[in-house]
Structure 1
Amino acid sequence: MMAAGAAALALPIAAGMVAPTLATAAPTHGPVLRAPAGGFEELMVPSTMGPIKVQVKWASQGGDAALYLLDGLRAKDDRNAWSDPAEGDGPGIFANDNITLVMPVGGQSSFYADWYSPSNTNGQKYTYRWETFLTRELPDFLAGYGVSRTNNAIAGLSMGGSAALALAAYHREQFKHASAFSGYLNISAPGMREAIRIAMLDAGRFNVDSMAAPWSPAWLRMDPFVFAPQLKGLPMYISAASGLPGPYDQPNSAVGVFNTGNAVVLEALSMVNTRAFQARLGQLGIPAHFDFPGAGTHSWRYWHDQLMNARPGILAALNA
């Protein structure tokens, strides 16, 4: 399964995205204090990586709570797929809720981490600093719009799922709830680093060794299985389906059949990782809400449904 997963991770599937370049428009400076009720806006946020586009759906009643939504390995440079009604549709799911959705754009293959160096396999000119951006630069910027630095939740799919748990674990003062959908939650298991290596080379020719050296402290810091003790007391929603085709898997072409096959393998690999993580939390006596649907593949409409299922817990944790 690890070998098949490595191959499938490297292939564009229904959930996949094209290689990004970070937004380069001039950043917005000095926003006035505001929280536009219910509206949608795209902000350019200064960072050490350059200006980053962030799509925002403001809280329906001007509240200060926020949900950060993280994209997958093939994150695009023009939009976060959670903002797309045909994919994650976060704004539709939370349309009437008093919570702001924060959807950063870009970060392909980043795992939303602070990297060791620029990737040396694709000529990257800067070092990824996504943890710094999401936990310091972006919250500071959004505070000027009336968004709380401390009353937040975070959710992500696949790459973004493990990243959501990591960011919540190390920044408990910022995040009160974390959700991981089809995440890879045991990345130090045999074969997983090489599967991730192949996937990252395919998704923008990024080098996993530039992110973190093999089994170094930086690598282990990213592994939910390793940092699990730091999740104690954090409300969590975690899911992975069986990989068996479900209601959203109805390919009508050879390409569709091929993509569905890849999505089957990816989801099965995620399910194995997630089951191991569930056992790990059980050993530690840490509760979490787990959902393992009997059917479903590694694709967006299933993640849309999982975000809908996670919604009540997110709103309750933030009192939104």
Structure 2
Amino acid sequence: MSAADGALRRRLVATTLSIVALVAALAIPSLASAEPGSGSTRAQALARAVADGRVLDLSVYSPSMKRDVPVRVLVPADRSVPRPTLYLLNGAGGGEGTGHWFEQTDIVDFVADKNVNVVVPMRGAYSYYTDWVKVDPVLGRNKWTTFLTSELPPLIDKKLTTTGVNAIAGISMAGTSSLSLAESAPQLYRAVASYSGCAETSTNLGRLAIRAVVEGRGGGDIANIWGPVGSPGWRAHDPVVNAYKLRGKAIYISTGTGIPGPHDQLQSQGIDGKTTIYIDQIAVGGAIEAATHQCTLNLDRRLTQLGIPATVDYTPGTHAWPYWQDQLVKSWPMLERALTD
């Protein structure tokens, strides 16, 4: 066996192990939690923003889904209009539990001085924010592409007196969705950012990631998304296959390597003097991030082949909220330029 063959074999083995770990790990809902001790501070920041009128909790009716969708909007302290809009998507839980931007990050304080509206849908668990071809017995009617690209933006533009300039960003499951939404509505978004998203749907790795989220965590049937696995709809929604549709946009893609980074600690001393071991974040979160790292490498290569510029950030770390907050901050200058130029 040549050295090149040996290296290829090692990569294939490592990828296979990551896939196996991914399928098992994504069924664990407690993963990717915030760092200890920050929840009360964030709750206080949100309460202040509500009192100052910076938080708007809207109930938006979706004709395509035949239901109301809660949408949380952050506006800056400076109320001058018009302003551009950043659509910011939550991960697999869709913001329906505690795993969302307001609970897990400092988003409220971070955008206070930014001249942008931040719009966060607070539903969509395990949906991949796409239009499903069938109503799912467990996860219901999902027409998120229609809602996010056709139904919601005109209402936001009118209510907030926007500039009509938009960007979209998301984490994990919604990192995949953000790329796909930007490809499906190319005139709607000037910029797109994906943090730890597996940018594939028609490959074995991409399909396993979707199965782990939709079936493993949500109890739904992935055949109800785009048809049976392998049917044309899966390829039609693959961000790598459709990467050419991102041409002309500002693009930011990030992923951890799966190797523990600055936010990963084996032990943490609690206020009661006891030591807690964060094995799930390091071992399980590391395996998930190793898989998303592989997806990101594939998208990076495809964009390079197409001559489409993108900012791609590979940083040591696992599949966890502190890293996604870091990446929002890192990507902000690019997003801001795209929204205001």
TM-score by shorter chain over 0.5: yes
Q: 1:80 to 1:218 in 2, by over 3 A?
A: same
163, 169, 191: which one aligns with 1:177: 191
How far 1:188 sits from its partner (Å)?
Answer: 2.0
Farther off after superposition, 5-14 or 130-139: 5-14
For the residue of structure 2 that corresponds to 1:240, the secondary structure is strand
User: Which residue is 2:168 aligned to?
Assistant: 154
Larger Rg: 2
How far 1:141 sits from its partner (Å)?
Answer: 1.5
The 2-side partners of 1:218 and 1:282 are apart by 25
The number of residue pairs the alignment matches comes to 296
Say whether the 8 Å CA contact 2:91–2:99 is kept in structure 1: no
- CA deviation digits over 1:182-227, x for unaligned, max 9? 1101232224313421332232211111111223232112211111
Q: 1:142 to 1:241 in 2, by over 3 A?
A: same
Q: Mapping of 1:121-160 within 5 angstroms?
A: 122=138, 124=139, 126-148=140-162, 150-160=164-174
101, 112, 119: which one aligns with 2:129: 112
Greater strand share, 1 or 2? 2
For the residue of structure 1 that corresponds to 2:187, the secondary structure is coil
The 1-side partners of 2:125 and 2:163 are apart by 25
Q: Are 2:265 and 1:250 aligned? A: yes
Q: Are 2:334 and 1:317 aligned? A: no
State the TM-score, normalized to the length of structure 2: 0.81
274, 297, 301: which one aligns with 1:275: 297
Question: Partner letter of residue 156 of structure 2?
Answer: L
Farther off after superposition, 244-253 or 208-217: 244-253
Greater helix share, 1 or 2? 2
Q: Which segments of 5 or more consecutive residues in structure 2 lack a partner in the other structure?
A: 1-17, 35-51, 268-274
- CA deviation digits over 1:119-162, x for unaligned, max 9? 23x2x4x4201111111111122122134373010000111111
Say whether the 8 Å CA contact 2:31–2:280 is kept in structure 1: no
Q: 1:110 to 1:306 in 2, by over 3 A?
A: same
Q: 1:255 to 1:63 in 2, by over 3 A?
A: farther
Q: Are 2:311 and 1:289 aligned? A: yes
User: Which residue is 2:177 aligned to?
Assistant: 163
Q: Are 2:226 and 1:212 aligned? A: yes
State the TM-score, normalized to the length of structure 1: 0.86
Say whether the 8 Å CA contact 1:163–1:222 is kept in structure 2: no
How far 1:38 sits from its partner (Å)?
Answer: 7.1
Q: Which segments of 5 or more consecutive residues in structure 1 lack a partner in the other structure?
A: 18-36
The 2-side partners of 1:139 and 1:256 are apart by 40
The 2-side partners of 1:144 and 1:136 are apart by 13
